[in-house]
């Protein structure tokens, strides 16, 4: 475990107070966001998934109707994600010459296989192009409704446990501010806060690699919890060994 950067967070009283305030801001901020977003965060997605197919397509794609309808397009260009900040997108052209640029959060099961000249079926809902289908697969665009409930719960899992640990270690250090240096337990707790954060970031990536395309909280938690338990055990082992070394030396 790294000592120098972490000690700086709780070495002095001002730094410890800053760490405490930062932890409180993280927990309270994301807590408020969860309370506001989670109750109805999946309503729009459920409405979209339950929407029936229109009996007749509207005159223009921009018509804000609640039923879903489709239109055929030809792919004129495909650009896959290549660097940070870069978006995966496909440019589609209708039979009457209208072009649309559709963006995607990942290369998915459809866009990665598209080439210039391929035909796709685009799905519209409330005037928005929400999904494309080709070759037996489908992929939603970044304008499609998302499960904000699951997304915010995942964000909370990534940030709130780390924030709670920051609050705990800051209060612990303030209660022993007369000590010249943070204890091994304090350093381990700070390390664990960072490790929990990165475990939260890593968990959705594991599911993505395994083919779990849907954004759901419980599968992410199922990856994060064992990782958190292992990290906690590692931190505990570090503290025990560090204390034993210090006792033997002195």
| Together in a domain, 12 and 77 | no
pLDDT tens-place string over residues 220-237:
999 999 999 999 999 999
| Together in a domain, 136 and 167 | no
User: Looking at residue 230, what is its pLDDT?
Assistant: 96
| Together in a domain, 155 and 134 | no
| Together in a domain, 121 and 165 | no
| Together in a domain, 51 and 28 | no
Is pLDDT above 60 for 2?
A: no
Print the domain residue range for 117: 45-140
For the chain, the average pLDDT equals 89
Percent of the chain with pLDDT over 70: 92
| Together in a domain, 9 and 92 | no
User: Domain count of the chain?
Assistant: 2
User: Looking at residue 1, what is its pLDDT?
Assistant: 47
User: Looking at residue 209, what is its pLDDT?
Assistant: 59
User: Looking at residue 96, what is its pLDDT?
Assistant: 87
pTM for this structure? 0.80
Is pLDDT above 70 for 69?
A: yes
Say which CATH number the domain at 107 has: 2.40.50
Percent of the chain with pLDDT over 90: 64
| Together in a domain, 93 and 185 | no
| Together in a domain, 49 and 135 | yes
Average pLDDT for residues 60-73, to the nearest whole number?
A: 82
Tell me the β-bridge partners of 137: 134
| Together in a domain, 49 and 33 | no
**What's the rounded Cα separation, in Å, for the pair 187 and 202?**
23
| Together in a domain, 190 and 161 | yes
User: Looking at residue 8, what is its pLDDT?
Assistant: 80
| Together in a domain, 237 and 193 | yes
The residue from 140, 173, 191 where one domain ends is 140
pLDDT tens-place string over residues 77-114:
999 977 776 789 999 999 888 899 999 988 878 999 99
The residue from 124, 140, 156 where one domain ends is 140
pLDDT tens-place string over residues 167-221:
999 999 999 988 888 899 999 999 999 999 999 998 887 776 555 556 788 989 9
Residues ≥6 apart with Cβ < 8 Å to 123: 68, 69, 70, 129, 130, 131, 132, 133, 138
State both tokens at 217.
């909280």
User: Looking at residue 195, what is its pLDDT?
Assistant: 95
| Together in a domain, 113 and 74 | yes
The residue from 140, 160, 192 where one domain ends is 140
Tell me the β-bridge partners of 72: 121
């Amino acid at each position: 475990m790294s000592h120098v950067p972490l000690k700086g967070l709780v070495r002095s009283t001002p730094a410890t107070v800053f760490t405490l305030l930062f932890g409180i801001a993280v927990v309270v901020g994301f807590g408020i966001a969860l309370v506001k977003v989670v109750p109805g965060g999946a309503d729009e997605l459920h409405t979209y998934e339950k929407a029936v197919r229109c009996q007749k397509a509207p005159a223009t794609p921009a018509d804000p109707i609640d039923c879903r309808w489709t239109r055929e397009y030809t792919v004129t260009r495909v650009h896959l994600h290549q660097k940070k900040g870069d978006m995966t997108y496909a440019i589609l052209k209708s039979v009457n010459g209208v072009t649309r640029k559709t963006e995607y959060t990942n290369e998915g099961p459809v866009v990665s296989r598209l080439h210039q000249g391929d035909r796709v079926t685009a799905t519209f809902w409330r005037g928005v192009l929400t999904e494309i289908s080709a070759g037996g697969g489908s992929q939603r665009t970044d304008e499609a409704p998302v499960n904000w409930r699951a997304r915010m719960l995942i964000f909370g899992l990534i940030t709130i446990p780390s924030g709670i640990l920051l609050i705990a270690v800051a209060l612990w250090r303030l209660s022993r501010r007369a000590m010249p240096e943070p204890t091994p337990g304090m350093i381990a707790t700070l390390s664990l806060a960072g490790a929990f954060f990165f475990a939260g970031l890593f968990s959705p990536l594991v599911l993505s690699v395994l083919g779990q395309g849907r954004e759901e909280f419980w599968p992410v938690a199922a990856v994060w919890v064992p990782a958190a338990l292992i990290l906690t055990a590692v931190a505990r082992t570090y503290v025990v060994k560090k204390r034993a070394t210090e006792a033997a030396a002195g």
